[in-house]
Amino acid sequence: MTKHIFVTGGVVSSLGKGITAAALAMLLEKRGYKVAMQKLDPYLNVDPGTMNPYQHGEVFVTDDGAETDLDLGHYERIAGVRCSQASNYTSGRIYGNVIARERAGGYLGGTVQVIPHITNEIKDAMRSLHSEQIDIAISEIGGTAGDIESLPFLEAARQFKLESGAHEVIFLHLTLVPYIRAAGELKTKPSQHSVAMLRGIGITPDILVCRTEIPLEEDHFQKLSLFCNVPERCVIEELDVRNSIYEVPLELARQKLDECVLEQLALEARPLDLGSYRLWLDGVLHPVKECTVAVVGKYIKLRDAYKSIYEALHHAGIAASAKVNFLPVESETLEHENPATALAGADAILIPGGFGNRGILGKIKAAEYARVNHIPFLGICLGMQCAVIEFARNKLGWQDADSTEFAPESTHPVIALLESQKQISDKGGTMRLGAYPCKLIRGSRSEKLYGCENISERHRHRFEYNGIYRKALEDAGLRVAGTSPDGNIVEMVELPEEPFYVGCQFHPEFQSRPQQPHPLFAGLVNAALDNRKA
């Protein structure tokens, strides 16, 4: 039977609940337990797919095509679990299901209410993680204790525990113990208040994890234990890590969080061997070379908007014993700037995915600058589309070459709406989403990088390379390097003459893992290092 951990947050948002939950999951997995993870988000959008990255950060895409919260990226990268549609539920999705059932007559005669109908739906979502293969399920509840929005989720979790046997369900509360510089003191009061708030709705945390800048002292542990009603050994300090989020699991292991969790769940503390992880982390913390990769995007001010891209570059750097510096370039400003100035110092250029017209010209300019100056280049999704447009305009001389997303009247629509999208008008969850197979062209750079011919990558797009122009583009030098297995959708392009110039319609960043960098990112970073040396 699957046991369940609920992770809640207190005091402030952005405490790193996702990273903490993922680090805990990693430790449990390393002790031989099978873990599944889930994020419960209080907002009313059905999924974050329709939200602006400035509102929400990156949309993480799963194999089965769910558009989800970026915390799922942490789950996959840190904990190594595979996420799915069951890994992210929002209030919008929960209410949507209940309301659809009401309209279909599913509750005929009844008044549909938050309790029990919404809370039952939430409990079903929580339980959807349970299976014979899963020992422990972790549900992270978004928001902060005291928010009106997250109440139904907390209420459902309370009921969930009530309906379960002893040691089946535990609550882990992540809180902040702020350091007041002027007084030179750590303060436990905000944590006391946030736990009081949870207890007011019937939840008593079993474990308190305290984010802190400086180590807690004995009397802090005692105070937190006494006022928060948590045994002292279950008050866990989570000290800020200095250099890498991949230090967090070690920090939590040092504080015995995993042992505490297993004790509370009445599970055996199987041996934990972090030796090889420690060795790997040592390499992460002590790179011997460096390079700089420019990332040209329109939400560039917000790091979280391109979370998986930065992580994937970091992973590729780790494998090459290199530190990868990021040069974030705002695509809209690049439109009015000299690219040689804006991109100065970049050993490679990456254009990530995106939507809409703003900043497109800047991205096209960056792709041109990379091609003309032989700078290693990776274009992802919209980045590949911009590279194709740039090539058509500047190499083939088709001045108005464009994507029909931006210029429906273009006489050279080198990027056009996918056939399968033509009848679709709803915006939510209707793109070409999730993992699709791709066949690489024999002898292409991409096939060499992947080391195989058949790959599977995650997608999120409506537009595609327009096959009508394939011959002209290929004849001029922009080679197709990968297609859908039926050959109809162009998935990859490359310039074989360049040191590294690759575009992909899919999102390789979602499958990069700390200890297994993605081949395309590894290729880009290695080319950047060569470029720097040269």
CA 72: distance to chain centroid? 5
DSSP 409-468: T-SEEEEEE-GGGTT----TT-SEEEEEEEEEPTT-HHHHHHTSSEEEEEEEESEEE-GG
| Whole-number Å distance between alpha carbons of 169 and 266 | 10
**Vertex 307, ends 254 and 453: CA angle to 5°?**
105
**Vertex 467, ends 428 and 49: CA angle to 5°?**
15
As measured in angstroms, the least distance from the Cβ of 507 to ligand GLN is 7
Structure tokens at 335: 């439109």
As measured in angstroms, the least distance from the Cβ of 305 to ligand GLN is 12
390 is catalytic: no
Q: How many residues make up the chain in this entry?
A: 534
As measured in angstroms, the least distance from the Cβ of 368 to ligand GLN is 19
Nearer to ligand GLN (CB atom), residue 158 or residue 460: 460
| Whole-number Å distance between alpha carbons of 86 and 98 | 17
β-pair type (35-41, 88-90): parallel
509 is catalytic: yes
Nearer to ligand GLN (CB atom), residue 383 or residue 514: 383
Residue 504 backbone phi and psi in degrees, to 5: -135, 140
Nearer to ligand GLN (CB atom), residue 65 or residue 354: 354
Catalytic member of 173, 386, 509, 518 = 509
Nearer to ligand GLN (CB atom), residue 60 or residue 463: 463
As measured in angstroms, the least distance from the Cβ of 431 to ligand GLN is 6
As measured in angstroms, the least distance from the Cβ of 317 to ligand GLN is 23
Catalytic member of 228, 381, 386, 504 = 381
CB contact at 8 A, 7 and 172: yes
Please give the residue ranges that form the binding site for ligand GLN (CB under 6 A): 353-355, 381-382, 405, 460-463
As measured in angstroms, the least distance from the Cβ of 58 to ligand GLN is 11
Nearer to ligand GLN (CB atom), residue 26 or residue 66: 66
CA 100, 106, 112, 114 torsion: positive or negative?
negative
**Vertex 100, ends 97 and 101: CA angle to 5°?**
85
461 is catalytic: no
Lookup result for tokens 């009848």:
423
**By 3-state DSSP, what share of the chain in percent is helix, strand and coil, each rounded to 5?**
40, 25, 35
β-pair type (60-61, 169-176): unpaired
Nearer to ligand GLN (CB atom), residue 45 or residue 212: 45
**CB-nearest residue to ligand GLN:** 353
Catalytic residues: 381, 507, 509
